[in-house]
Each structure stands twice: as structure tokens, then as C-alpha cells.
A = this chain, B = another copy of it.
């Protein structure tokens, strides 16, 4: 604590460089891994990462979910999902119908073929990820999980704070 001549606490201009460097490193890691996954998906299955993602969400449930659910889970805009789903329905991976109880709602789910294809891709995908992280010990993985959970919480809090101001 620094005190000025009148013995009041004074704010020192803090250094925020560490956090910035941390953010840049986080971004580098994600970009690197995402690019690697994107490339392998294209090479191996001729599919794009944006097409893979909604299928991954839908594979976690048996009876489909709404467009809003998918867009929230993927953290992308609604309009984006509309287009992605359109193409995935077109290609036969997804099935789409209007909800019986609320005609605004579109329920989408994997077709049988879509789920089968996704499962094949997901199995390899998981091995790639495991390979990408292979230098990390189990302890590293646990510790990283913990710190990223903390980061996620902190980021959400900051986002919340801004949302309330607006």
C-alpha cells in the first residue's frame, strides 16, 4: 500500500500486461487447435468444423432440441444456426419439424444416417484431441481444467456486469 503526503491511500497505475499476455496465449492455443481440427475434418471427412459442431450438440440428446438451444450451446447467433441447420437438413444429416405445442419453435435432431456419420467422425476426433494434448500429464489436465473453470466464471461475471450497464 502506498500512502501520499496526506496519508491517504493512492491508486498506483497497475500493470495489466500479464493478463493481456495470458489472453493472447489462450487465443493462440485455441486458434492452433481449432485449425488443426478443422484441417483434419476436411482431409479425413470432407466436412467443415461449423457443420460438425451442431451435430455434436444434437448427439448429446435423443429427441432433438430447438434452434435456440443449439445457438445458446454453441454460443453463436441465431441467424447463423438457421443457415447451418438449413444446409445440414439439405444434406440429410438433420431432421427438422415445427413444435406441436408452440408453432414458433423448430425442433431439430440427427437423422439415423446423420448420427451414424457423426459417431464415426467423433471417434476419430477424440483421438486427435487426445494426441494434441498428449504432452500434458493427467495432473496438468486436471489443473488446467480447474484454472479454466475459474477463468470461465470470471469472464461470465465481467460479461454480466457489462450487460447490466447497457
Contact = CB atoms under 8 A, between A and B. Distances in A.
Interface of A: 14, 16-23, 25-36, 39-40, 43, 75, 126-136, 138, 140-141, 143-145, 147-159, 161-162, 166
A150 B144 CA distance: 11
Contact of A36 (B127, B162, B166): B162
- If over half of A's interface residues share one DSSP class (helix, strand or loop), that class is named, otherwise mixed; here it is helix
Tell which of A30, A75, A134, A147 has the most Cβ of chain B within 10 Å. Answer: A30
Contact of A75 (B31, B134, B161): B31
Contact of A149 (B23, B25, B159): B25
A136 B126 CA distance: 30
6 contacts: A16-B129, A26-B26, A131-B161, A132-B158, A135-B154, A143-B147
A47 to B, nearest CB: 17
Nearest to A144: B147
Contacts of A32: 75, 152, 155-156, 159
A23 B133 contact: yes
Q: Which 10 A-B pairs have the closest CB atoms?
A: A135-B154, A16-B130, A30-B30, A19-B133, A132-B158, A19-B130, A25-B148, A32-B155, A144-B147, A16-B126
